[in-house]
Chains A and B, each alone.
Chain A
Amino acid sequence: MNWAAIRAIYIFEMSRFFRTFLQSLISPVISTSLYFVVFGAAIGSRIDEVNGVSYAAFIVPGLIMLTVMTQAISNASFGIYFPKFIGTIYELLSAPISFFEIVLGYVGAAATKAWFIGIIILITSFFFVRIDIQHPIAMFAFLILTCISFALFGFIIGIWAKNFEQLQLVPLLIVTPLVFLGGSFYSITMLPPFWQAVSMFNPVVYLISGFRWAFFGIEDVPVMTSLFSIGLFSGLCLFAVYWIFKTGWRIRQ
C-alpha cells in the first residue's frame, strides 16, 4: 500500500478546501439559515409537528443530507475531473499507485469536506432549534457512510464527464430532484398513497429516513432497510469504480 501517495492526494485535495475555507464555511451557514427562515419559520409556523417532532427540527436531518450529498458529489467529481481537464492526470497515471489508492485519496478528501460541512450545518441548526439526538453514534455512522458513498458516486461522475456541463448535469438533473423528493422537508407518510409508492423507488428516501431515525427515532422505512440501501449504493459505486480502473475507461488510452 502506497500510504505516502494516498496522504499526498488527500492533503493536496484538502488544501483546495482550505484555500477557500471562508467560502466553504460561510456558504453552508447562510444557506442553512435561509432554509430555516423559509421552511422552519414561514412554512413551519403553519405545520405543528411531524410524527411528534417540531417541523423546524424535523427538517434538520434532510437539510444536512441535502447539502452533504451535493457537496460530496461536487467535491469528488471536481477533484478528479480537474486533473483530467488541465492535464495533470499524467502524474497520477505514471505514479506507483494503484487505482484503489487513487480512489482512497480523492474520495477520502471529498468525504471529509462533505462531512465537515454537514457538521457545520448541524451546529448552525442548534442556533435555530433545540435538537436532542437520540442515536448520536448511528447519526455519525449514517453521515460518514453517506459522505463516502456519494463521494464515490461523484468520483464516477468526474471520470465520466467530458466537460464542465456534464460535470453539473447529473447533480443538477438527477441528484437534486431526488434529494428534494426524498423527504428532506416532509415525511413520506404525508403524501397520497400513490406518491408514497413512487417514493419507494427513490434511494434517497431510505438515506434520509435512516438519518432522521438516528436523530428522532422516527422513520419512514425501517432503519435496517436504510442501512441495507446505503450499503447497496456504496457497493454499486465501488464496483463501478473498480470496473472503470480495470478497463481504464475515459482515463487511460
Chain B
Amino acid sequence: MAPILDIKNLRKSYAGGFEALKGVSLQIEQGEIIALLGPNGAGKTTLISTVCGITSATSGQIKVGGHDINTDFRAARRMIGLVPQEVALEPFETVINTVKFSQGLFGKKRDIGAIEKILKQLSLFDKRNNQLKELSGGMKRRVLIAKALAHEPRVLFLDEPTAGVDVELRKDMWDIVADLKADGVTIILTTHYIEEAEAIADRVGIIANGELLLVEDKTKLMAQMGKKQLEVQLTAPLSAIPDGLVSYDLTLGPSGDALIYTYDTNAERTGITQLLNDVAKAGLSLRDVVTRQSSLEDIFVTLVKEDAA
C-alpha cells in the first residue's frame, strides 16, 4: 500500500541562506504514530509547516494520500490536521465558534453533532460557550486539538502537543492519541519529551541540523541500540576490581560498593551467569543485583552527539 505521507528529498532554505531542511525523505504508513525527536532548531517544525502549506519548500516533493501538496493542494490539505506548537487562538471567540470556524475552513458542511462529539471527547463540552481567554493553558491546548479534528483529518500533526502541560493532561493527551490511532488516524508528533515518544510512538525519527538521522521502529531501535547494565551491589566496598574479574569489562561504582557490567541484549551470550559465578568465586558478598536498560533518551543523545562530531 502507498504511504499516506510521502516526502522526497525535501529542502528548505530561508532568505538569509539558512538551510533548515537538507534533503529530508520520509514515508509514513496509514495508522502509525511517528515521533520526531530533535533538539531546538533541528527542523522539526519547519518539516511540519512545509507539509501543511505554512512554509513553501525550496525543492522536493510531498504527497499526502497520493495528492501532491502543490498541484492538488485542496485534496491534500483536507486530509491534514495541525496542532501548532504555539497556543494561537482568538481570545474573544467562544470555544464552539472557533471549532465551527475550523470545520468550515476545511470545507466541511456545518455538523454540530460532530463538533459536540469532539468537545465531549476532549472534556471541553462544558466550556463550549466560554470565551477562549477564560480558559487555562491546558484547556486551550485541547481547543487546538478540537480545531484540528473538526474536519476529521486522516493525518494529524502534533507539534509539541504537551509542551508546558501538567502530567495529568499529558496522560490525557496520550489517551486521545491512542483513540485516534484506533480510528485509523496517522499521527506525526514532535516532542522534547522522550518518554512521550517511548510511550506512544510506533516509529521514531531523529532530526538534527535539518537532516533525518534515522527513522526506526521504536522497539527495534531500542533493541538494536539499547545497552543493558547489570549492577552488582556489594556488602563491602572495594578499592579495585579483583584479579579474577579483570577479564570482564567492569567498572567500579563511585563508592566502590558496586560492580557495573554493560552488555548487549542482542548477543547470543550475555556472560551474566559466568560473571555471577566468578563474583562468588572471588569471595564477594552480594547485597543486591539491579539491571538497567538505556532509554530512548540515551539513544537520542548518543545519535545527536555522533552527528555533531
Q: State the A residues within 8 Å of B (CB).
A: 2, 4-5, 7-9, 11-12, 15-16, 19, 82-83, 86-88, 90-97, 248, 252-253
Contacts and interface: CB of A to CB of B under 8 A. Distances in A.
Given A96-B73, A97-B105, A86 B54 contact: no
B107 A4 contact: yes
Given A2-B74, A86-B89, A86-B90, A92 B105 contact: yes
Nearest to A247: B56
Contacts of A248: 56
A96 B78 CA distance: 6
Contact of A96 (B77, B97, B100): B77
B211 to A, nearest CB: 20
B174 interface: no
Nearest to A94: B52
Which residue, A2, A4, A9, A252, has most C-beta atoms of chain B within 10 A? A4
B31 interface: no
B106 A88 contact: no
A4 B108 contact: yes
Interface in B83-102: 84, 86, 88-93, 97, 100-102
A89 to B, nearest CB: 8
A88 B93 CA distance: 12
Contact of A94 (B82, B91, B103, B104): B82
What bracket does the count of chain B residues touching chain A fall in? 35 or more
Contact of B107 (A2, A82, A90): A2
Contacts, number: 83
A96 B107 contact: yes
B77 A86 contact: no
A122 B73 CA distance: 45
A5 B55 CA distance: 21
Given A15-B93, A15-B97, A91-B102, A253 B84 contact: no
Nearest to B50: A253
A72 to B, nearest CB: 21
B291 to A, nearest CB: 46
A83 B105 CA distance: 14
Contacts of B55: 252-253
A4 B90 contact: no
A8 to B, nearest CB: 3
Contacts of B104: 4-5, 7-9, 11
B107 A94 contact: no
B147 A91 contact: yes
A221 B76 CA distance: 52
A78 to B, nearest CB: 12
A3 to B, nearest CB: 8
A5 B90 contact: no
B103 to A, nearest CB: 7
A8 B105 contact: yes
B89 A88 contact: yes
Given A94-B77, A96-B73, 13 more contacts: A4-B110, A7-B104, A9-B105, A86-B91, A87-B84, A90-B52, A90-B82, A91-B147, A93-B53, A96-B74, A96-B76, A253-B55, A253-B56
A91 B82 CA distance: 8
Contacts of A253: 14, 54-56
Nearest to A19: B92
B95 to A, nearest CB: 14
B305 interface: no
A88 B88 contact: yes
Interface string B219-261: 0000000000000000000000000000000000000000000
A9 B107 CA distance: 11
6 contacts: A4-B108, A8-B103, A16-B92, A19-B92, A96-B73, A252-B54
Contacts of A88: 88-90
Nearest to B54: A93
